[in-house]
Amino acid sequence: MNKKNFSVIKIAGGGIAGLSAAMYLQRKNFQVEVYEKEKKIGKSRHGDFEGIENWIFSSNNSNAFKKIGFNTDKISLSPVRQFVVHTATDKPFKVKCALPFFNLVKRGSNRGDLDSQLFEQCVKEGIIFNLGQQAPENCDIIATGTKKASAYISGLNFKTNSKNQIHLLLGSKFAPKGYAYMIIQDGQGTIATAFKKDYESKVNPLKNCIDEFSKLRIDIIDPKKFGSRGSFSLPFGFKYKKPFFVGEAGGFQDYLFGFGMKISMLSGLAAAMFIEDKGSAAKKLFRDLNKKRKISFINRILYERLSDNQMHSFAKRFSESDNSIELLSSAYEWNIKNLIRWSTFKSRYEIRTS
């Protein structure tokens, strides 16, 4: 197969969905150009720690990267098998599992950050990047992120002498209808809260999180605040034709907890497979992705109805499970119960703060 037999495939957006589509197509002998409005890949990120989940899909994270065409030996993936849960109503407790719940990555444009590592591999593969440029209107794949904001992330990155550890914090004063966390890895830390904004509330979720985590006597050196936003808008009427909207631009995310990196990458892969003329396999993958995001949408609506006491009860039950990752996976199964729930909830295009 010769590249000169194909027109240039244009991708708008250099996030992980766009990079995934670009890498797959380039390795299949297409000529690919990526347009990114930032002057550096990963520039819109903040150097914070995030997790790539290991429970929504049956394939593990290494296999997902390999299927797209990335070399996992050149990607920093730290497996996480345990963390501590804090709630507003009781003492902290530990959650453990033999298999990793997720892989820890750092997001940003610096060396060692996931975005930068994927970009470097794409460049070596021969993908052309047009940085600091708006994408043309005739792009084949749109991966430009979300344009709506119904959820917010407020956080703090810092240096520390404290040991590696991960904490999950639940409760309305820490993360209204969301969750907060602290991650410390190799001398660097992130405290962040992901929440739904209530404009009548005077609660300062990030301050409350910092105050709570300060009880652990954590060193916080050179703190730098950051913020970002997300959307819980679930699009309808998906079409199997160009331009393909992938990642957050296409609503491909985990609506429950925001662990959307893998579903975002796989949506880029599915679009690339369509362009490669593997329509049957691409449709199968898109159908699977659509089911997973619909279920996560249902889970999000149910989660938002929980009180602080109910959150604690669910988290405690989760910690006492013999196979907690399997329990998480079961929450994303497409069964008759979830089908009925979907029929009830699907008209709610946006999950809003009550």
pLDDT digits (tens, 9 = 90+) for 317-326: 989 988 899 9
pLDDT digits (tens, 9 = 90+) for 64-73: 999 999 999 9
Domains within the chain, CATH numbers bracketed: 3-78+103-146+232-293 (3.50.50.60), 151-230 (3.30.9.10)
Distance separating alpha carbons of residues 183 and 180, to the nearest angstrom: 10
Per the model's pLDDT, the better-predicted residue between 68 and 300 turns out to be 68
The first and second tokens of residue 234, run together, are 């679930």
Q: What pLDDT does residue 341 have?
A: 60
Percent of the chain past pLDDT 70, that is, above it, reads 89
Q: How many CA atoms lie within 13 A of 9 on its CB side?
A: 30
Given a cut of 50, is residue 260 above it in pLDDT?
yes
- Average pLDDT of the residues in 161-177: 95
Given a cut of 50, is residue 88 above it in pLDDT?
yes
Percent of the chain past pLDDT 90, that is, above it, reads 71
Per the model's pLDDT, the better-predicted residue between 3 and 6 turns out to be 6
Q: Torsion angle, CA of 261/266/268/271, rounded to 10 degrees? A: -160
At residue 109 the predicted structure's pLDDT band, cuts being 50, 70 and 90, is very high
Given a cut of 80, is residue 264 above it in pLDDT?
yes
- Please compute Rg for the chain using Cα positions: 20
- Average pLDDT of the residues in 191-214: 87
Per the model's pLDDT, the better-predicted residue between 347 and 92 turns out to be 92
Q: List, edge to edge, every strand of the sheet that includes 128-131.
A: 128-131, 32-36, 9-12, 141-142, 244-245
Of 117-126, 127-136, 293-302, 337-346, the range with the lowest mean pLDDT is 337-346
Distance separating alpha carbons of residues 192 and 225, to the nearest angstrom: 9
pLDDT digits (tens, 9 = 90+) for 151-161: 789 999 999 99
Distance separating alpha carbons of residues 204 and 210, to the nearest angstrom: 10
Q: Give the Cβ contact number of residue 332 at 10 Å.
A: 21
Do residues 70 and 266 make contact, with C-beta atoms less than 8 angstroms apart? no
Q: What pLDDT does residue 46 have?
A: 87
DSSP state for residue 226 in the 8-state scheme: E
Of 2-6, 36-40, 235-239, 264-268, the range with the lowest mean pLDDT is 2-6
Of 55-59, 234-238, 303-307, 350-354, the range with the lowest mean pLDDT is 350-354
Q: What pLDDT does residue 239 have?
A: 80
Of 187-191, 197-201, 248-252, 324-328, the range with the lowest mean pLDDT is 197-201
Given a cut of 90, is residue 39 above it in pLDDT?
yes
Q: Look over the chain and give the mean of its residue pLDDT values, rounded to a whole number.
A: 90
Q: What pLDDT does residue 353 have?
A: 32
